Structure 1
Amino acid sequence: MAANKDNFCVIMGGGIGSRFWPVSRKTLPKQFLDFFGTGRSLLQQTFDRFKKIIPVENILIVTNAMYADLVREQLPELLPEQILLEPTRRNTAPCIAWASYHIRAKHPNANVVVAPSDHLILKEEEFLTAIEKGLEFVAQSEKLLTLGIKPNRPETGYGYIQIDEPVGDNFYKVKTFTEKPELELAKVFVESGEFYWNSGLFMWNVNTIIKAGEELLPELSAKLAPGKDVYGTPEEQRFIDENFPACPNVSIDFGIMEKADNVYVSLGDFGWSDLGTWSSLYDLSPKDKNDNVVLKCQTLLYNCHNNIVTLPDGKLAVIDGLEGYLVAESDNVLLICKKDEEHSIRKYVNDAQIKLGEDYI
């Protein structure tokens, strides 16, 4: 696949990944971890995937300033100006706005794919073909494009996109977005054939997204747009450090995609997973004859079914009579909870932080 010099990639890598606590920590979140023992972290795998179709010099990482050294260590190919360091966390809309102004300053007609750093793609070739077609689509008109994934189950952990009329080969106008639905509604969505999972992957021309942001999120553009003369200069980071913390904390989905009238979706089935939860990791991992998943550690399991176990290297877990549990140890925290109640993990993190301080977060 030949890399197109007009195409750019923005990888968002600044999250904490608190749903993967205690393995994902504030100082070492999940995007920097190698969950499957491949020798490459989720961030590195994302970078490896996109550099097959995007010139390496056109790939940007947007992350929190505290992860600067981790990104440099894991992706030594990148120049300093390819790593955008947010002074504080402000959700995906400010992150994407900054990256867009930064790219436009050097490449005024760039086509951009925006991707999270923690997704898993099993059918990589089909995925990359879809990205290339999507970038061609947005290069030809003022359209905001997202990638929809054909659902194979009524999943309540993903947002859904309802498709409208087709506008070309596998491109559709978006009719509605629905945030994570209850199970009964998710079943209706899947049976209807009109709804697809919202992958959180986006494509657009840089001018299209900037125009949409200035129309739909003027309070955000007011903070970042006046710096157009500093983007691409040594003053850029100072300007961002001053202005970024005052940006509204809003997602690109809520702030722009759900409100704009020029939103389209390309459909696919790429063996995609948003590696957002222990359940998603369990679903993707090989299982023993009793449906237990053991990640990178030694275990002796007796009368155990449907569990996920992960411990530091060199440790042994001996477990008897456990069913449907998550057992995860990392550093100074051991977590044991019902696998199906992982939504409580954020509560555990908050309680640990309030009662015991930052040492366990």
Structure 2
Amino acid sequence: MGFDPQNLYGVVLAGGFGTRLWPLSRQGRPKQFIDLLGGGRSLLQQAVDRVVDIIPLDRVLVVTTERFAADVAAQLPDLAPENIIAEPCGRDTAPAMGVAAEIVSARCPDAVVVNLPADHYVADGERFRAALLTAAEAAYDHPVVAVLGVPPTFANTGLGYIEVGADTIEVGDRTLLEVARFTEKPDAATARAFVDSGRYLWNANYYTFHVDTFLASLAEYAPSLYRALAPLRGTADRAAIAQVYATVEAAPVDTAMTEKASNIYVLPADFRWSDVGNWNELYAVLADGWAEPDGTVVVSPRPELIIGIDASDNLVLQATPRPIALVGVRDSVVVDLDDGLLVAGRAQIQDIRQVVERLAEVAPAYC
């Protein structure tokens, strides 16, 4: 008996903070809850919208922290309360995915789970859904964990990279490639070498697996985490979840399991994707269709009040309309909010982390 799409579950991970998009995204207002792309839907809502045609809401679970459970419920009012998994505290992706896998396994022992980050941009929903179904079929027919990999377009140092190996899995007319190695956020020279080699893909973190395969991999490669999940076997109430999080250690799924496992395969993506991880990534997404002739992207209630004189290739995002003049300014980001102002060169955009760290010392309310 082959893969039954009725057994496909989606687990949306929505517990991150996204401080690289300060001052818009903050600890109390993470980017997944923001309409970052100006379409009237938050990134979280878009993540669910993209899959609802193949994974209805009764088979979608959202993992978040208790702090943001009410935000998830407000943004996804048709999602059943029992499908919101509220972590007492953040423990990174390995525990979150492990908890979700146990809960799904109790509901459907033959389930295939698609891991869905809550804060990404995907340009072609139809191709994206087709890729997920291909990965799901591979994960059902073979004891593997399938992940989507994006062909890199530049030497991005903020993403993980996947080196492909020689072995393959064929699903219809699509080919999944063996994962030889994961490398997380390499330096600029290494990232450039990866891109030039043609053997690497960006790790989009869309992991797909049969629940038995994933839990068996945790038992082998992350035994302490697997043992910590024991209270969830047979129940998924809040007390059991709290018991798990009282003992489990924080760990990303990459270091806990996938970087060690030999049964990981990657499906190269054929759609445009971005993790919208910083202001440069947002500029790249919005510039495709929004940019003015000088390359500037303006997101403002009154874009005519943004005046550029000998200025180009800037991103200007504004909440409350007031004039902003950019004179002789190029390749910069200006984010003008009621409670924070950012002016940064796009080449130094990664240094925003230092801003947040400094604010945490002097004015944590603004982090």
Q: Which TM-score applies when normalising by structure 2? A: 0.92
CA separation of 1:197 and 1:242: change in aligned 2, threshold 3 A: same
Counterparts of 1:343 and 1:24 in 2: how far apart (Å)? 15
1:144 and 1:277 mapped to 2: Cα distance?
28
Q: 1:275 maps to what in 2? A: 276
Task: Look up the SS of the partner of 1:318 in the other structure.
Answer: strand
Once the two structures are superposed, the pairs formed by residues 341-352 of structure 1 within 5 Å of their partners are 341-352=348-359
Which residue among 210, 218, 231 is the counterpart of 2:215?
210
- Cα deviation, residue 245, structure 1: 4.1
4+ residue segments displaced more than 4 Å:
none
Computed over aligned residues only, the root mean square deviation of the Cα atoms, in angstroms, reads: 1.5
- Helix, strand or coil at the partner of 2:251: coil
Which 5+ residue runs of structure 2 have no aligned equivalent? none
Q: How does 1:306-317 map to 2 (within 5 A)?
A: 306-317=313-324
CA distance in 1: counterparts of 2:361 and 2:48, whole angstroms: 36
- Residue of structure 1 in register with 2:337 after alignment: 330
Report the 3-state secondary structure (helix = DSSP H, G, I; strand = E; otherwise coil) of the residue aligned with 2:266. strand
Contact 1:310–1:329 (CA under 8 A) maintained in structure 2: yes
The 2-side partners of 1:107 and 1:94 are apart by 20
CA contact (8 A) 1:37 1:296 kept: no
Pick from 271, 294, 300: which aligns with 2:298? 294
Q: CA deviation at 1:84?
A: 0.5
1:187 to 188, 192, 195: 192
Conserved in 2, the CA contact under 8 Å of 1:22 and 1:333? yes
Displacement of 1:185: 2.4
Provide the C-alpha distance between the structure 2 equivalents of 1:283 and 1:219, rounded to a whole number of angstroms.
Answer: 41
In the aligned structure 2, how far is the partner of 1:102 from the partner of 1:195? 34
Q: Deviations over 1:94-128 (max 9, x none)?
A: 11011011111111110010011111111221111
CA distance in 1, matches of 2:13, 2:291: 31
DSSP 3-state at the match of 2:207: strand
Q: What amino acid sits opposite 2:363 in the alignment?
A: L
Indicate conservation of the 8 Å contact 2:16/2:30, yes or no: yes
Pick which of 162-171 and 311-320 moved more: 311-320
- Given that residues 103 and 232 in structure 2 are in contact (C-alpha distance below 8 angstroms), is that contact kept between their aligned partners in structure 1? no
Partners of 1:36 and 1:195 lie apart in 2 by: 28
SS of 2:312's equivalent in the other structure is coil
- Residues 1:360 and 2:343 aligned together: no
- Aligned pair count reads 354
Describe how 1:180-259 pairs up with structure 2 within 5 A. 180-231=185-236, 236-259=237-260
Which of residues 312, 320, 341 in structure 2 aligns to 1:305?
A: 312
Question: Conserved in 2, the CA contact under 8 Å of 1:33 and 1:42?
Answer: yes
Q: TM-score, normalised by structure 1?
A: 0.94
Kept in 2, the 8 Å contact 1:113–1:201? The answer is yes
Q: 1:356 to 1:265 in 2, by over 3 A?
A: same
CA change 1:303–1:178 in 2 (3 A) is: same
Matching of residues 33-112 of structure 1 within 5 Å: 33-112=34-113
Unaligned residue ranges in structure 1 (runs of 5+): none
TM superposition shift of 1:57 = 0.4
SS of match in other structure, 2:229: helix
